[in-house]
């Protein structure tokens, strides 16, 4: 299983790690990002920095990186303005961006690097647009890219400025990252991909995390493919009745595919047995 939970430092990371880094702008983003890249440089990984800036400004952010110029010259370090990768929210297509990251990863491996290490500051995608609309679309993207990150040789640190992103959006974004920085935001629950194609649900699903959990489930139901969806629930410590209802609704949306719940906690088993035992397509497995 992938590592999950909260983290206070952007180091000690490995391929398949996917970190949501909630920050307050300025050095609260650039300093952790530099530490994140220093670790990758030592490990011989390709580094990709993405933010809503011109390439010269991206390079300026990386000035404290002692080997910046040498890595730019060798191709170990790449700079990519946000607009070139994502475009605007109105033009944003998750499938295209996911395909692009898969190709960037494959290109890094072909060039002899162990994996692709990405630092992406994407706050501006939420500025000046309907917050709920933007969050919904970008949560869908993060779910899709997390599925890729669970299997491909890559890792990512995704930055979001808490001053510009609403609490609801920050919570939803944290929830769909296995690792997250900012313990007070979205850390009660997590939904993330596993290498075998299943999904893990961890933590507590309650009044605070329920909306974000429902958003993540709705995204799962819309992912391309005709396979059943398996949720691994051994890390789930609490779920309220509304959260259980969200699982039942997901099962109904998936038909004729199945929703398979692995190792649900005893209270969840009881609620399902009492209220939704006859729901078609819902299967409980050990």
3-state helix/strand/coil string of 254-280: HCCCCEEEECCCHHHHHHHHHHCCCCC
What is the end-to-end Cα distance of the chain in Å, rounded? 16
Q: List, in order, residues 6 or more apart from 133 with CB less than 8 Å away.
A: 89
Query: What confidence category does residue 183 fall into, taking pLDDT thresholds of 50, 70 and 90?
Result: very low
Record the tokens describing residue 211, joined without a space: 């909306």
pLDDT in tens, 212-262: 888 888 888 887 777 899 999 999 999 988 888 899 888 888 888 999 999
Q: How far apart are CA 21 and CA 180, in angstroms?
A: 6
Which CATH code is given to the segment(s) 5-276?
A: 3.30.750.24
Per DSSP, the three-state class of 197 is coil
Q: What is the pTM of this model?
A: 0.90
Q: How far apart are CA 218 and CA 17, in angstroms?
A: 23
* Higher pLDDT among residues 155 and 140, named by residue: 155
Query: What confidence category does residue 41 fall into, taking pLDDT thresholds of 50, 70 and 90?
Result: very high
Which of 111-120, 207-216, 237-246 holds the top average pLDDT? 111-120
Q: What is the mean pLDDT of residues 12-20?
A: 95
Query: With 80 as the cut, is the pLDDT of residue 89 above it?
Result: no
pLDDT in tens, 159-173: 999 998 888 788 888
What is the phi/psi pair of residue 259, to 5°? -105, 115
Check residue 87 and give left, alpha or beta (phi > 0: left; psi -120 to 50: alpha).
left
Domain residue limits, the chain? 5-276
């Amino acid at each position: 299983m992938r590592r999950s939970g909260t983290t206070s430092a952007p180091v000690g990371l490995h391929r398949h790690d996917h970190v949501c880094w909630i920050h307050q702008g300025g050095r609260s983003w650039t300093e952790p990002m530099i530490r994140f890249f220093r670790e990758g440089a030592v490990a011989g990984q390709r580094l990709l920095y993405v933010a809503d800036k011109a390439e010269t400004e991206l390079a300026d952010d990386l000035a404290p990186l002692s080997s910046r110029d040498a890595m730019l010259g060798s191709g170990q370090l790449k700079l990519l303005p946000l607009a070139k990768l994502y475009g605007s929210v109105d033009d944003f297509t998750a499938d295209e961006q996911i395909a692009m990251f898969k190709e960037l990863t494959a290109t890094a491996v072909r060039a002899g690097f162990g994996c692709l290490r990405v630092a992406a500051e994407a706050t501006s995608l939420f500025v000046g647009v309907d917050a709920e609309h933007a969050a919904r679309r970008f949560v869908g993207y993060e779910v899709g890219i997390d599925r890729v990150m669970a299997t491909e040789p890559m890792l990512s640190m995704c930055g979001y400025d808490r001053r510009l992103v609403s609490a609801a959006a920050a919570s939803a974004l944290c929830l769909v990252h296995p690792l997250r920085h900012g313990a007070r935001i979205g850390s009660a629950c997590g939904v993330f991909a596993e290498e075998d194609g299943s999904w893990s649900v961890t933590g507590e699903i309650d009044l605070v995390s329920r909306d974000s959990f429902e958003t993540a489930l709705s995204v799962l139901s819309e992912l391309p493919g005709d396979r059943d969806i398996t949720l691994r629930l051994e890390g789930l410590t609490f779920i309220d009745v509304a959260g259980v209802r969200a699982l039942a609704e997901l099962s109904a949306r998936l038909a004729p595919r199945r929703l398979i719940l692995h190792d649900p906690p005893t209270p969840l088993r009881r609620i399902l047995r009492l209220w939704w035992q006859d729901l078609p397509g819902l299967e409980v497995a050990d």
